[in-house]
Amino acid sequence: MLTLGVLASGRGSNFQSIIDSIESGFLKAKVALLVTDNPGAYAINRAQKHGIDHMVLTPKDFPGRDAYYSRIAAELKNRGVELVILAGFMRIVGKALIDQYRNRVMNIHPALLPSFPGLHGQEQAADYGVKISGCTVHFVDEGMDTGPIIIQAVVPAYHDDTEDSLGSRILKEEHRIFPCAIRLFAEGRLCVEGRKVIIKGDRKDFAVTNPPLDQ
Ligand code: GRF
């Protein structure tokens, strides 16, 4: 069974979707530890409700980024964590952690990368006027939302969308694809070659348009 460590800064709805996927049997994994940088994170309540250990570690209590991320890596290693999940962790993860977990840190981003990286991907997409947006699960490298892409889901975007309206359409898909990406990892079906993720198994062609075409 795959052992996960989760890093989250806020409400933790993606964390909850992972917990639910484990409890339903969809995901053969367990969460060994939640680490948060925010003592007020609602993700802590979710951990407590489901009997998951948590730690609050804040950068201000450490002499620098290296010390902070080395400590997180040490806590995760101590608990046998094999895959690190960034579920709304609102910081750029330091090299000290990435080096310990190369191609074993996954993030979810609320836009179709490489478009609209960084904060407020939903608002950036809504303001830009794209007709399609979505979300991306990717492995984490040293850049901001630049690592190899594992799964993307698309949703329509409309001219009157706001960060909230587009964001809630995207969030539903986040909750579907993050557990799927973790499951692919757990099944040993993901292989990283350069900046590409090769997924062993099915391949189906499809196309999406917005607006839908008449023909
Ligand atoms: C999500 O929109 C995710 O894409 C982004 O941060 C947000 C976290 O939401 N990385 P939640 O805490 O999982 O509800």
Q: Please tell me if the CB atom of residue 94 comes closer than 6 angstroms to any atom of ligand 1.
A: no
pLDDT score, position 203: 81
Q: Is 109 marked active-site?
A: yes
Which of these is catalytic: 54, 109, 138, 175?
109
Residue nearest to atom 10 of ligand 1 (CA): 88
pLDDT score, position 201: 80
Yes or no: say if 172 and 17 are a contact pair by the CB < 8 Å rule.
Answer: no
pLDDT score, position 215: 65
pLDDT score, position 205: 86
Q: Please tell me if the CB atom of residue 87 comes closer than 6 angstroms to any atom of ligand 1.
A: yes
Q: Please tell me if the CB atom of residue 11 comes closer than 6 angstroms to any atom of ligand 1.
A: yes
- How far, in Å, is the centroid of ligand 1 from the Cα of 83? 18
Residue nearest to atom 7 of ligand 1 (CA): 88
pLDDT score, position 194: 94
Domain extent listing, the chain:
2-199
Q: Which CATH architecture has domain 2-199?
A: 3-Layer(aba) Sandwich (3.40)
User: Which atom belonging to ligand 1 lies closest to the Cα atom of 17?
Assistant: 13
- How far, in Å, is the centroid of ligand 1 from the Cα of 79? 24
- How far, in Å, is the centroid of ligand 1 from the Cα of 214? 35
Q: Please tell me if the CB atom of residue 10 comes closer than 6 angstroms to any atom of ligand 1.
A: yes
Stretches where the chain sits below pLDDT 70 are: 215
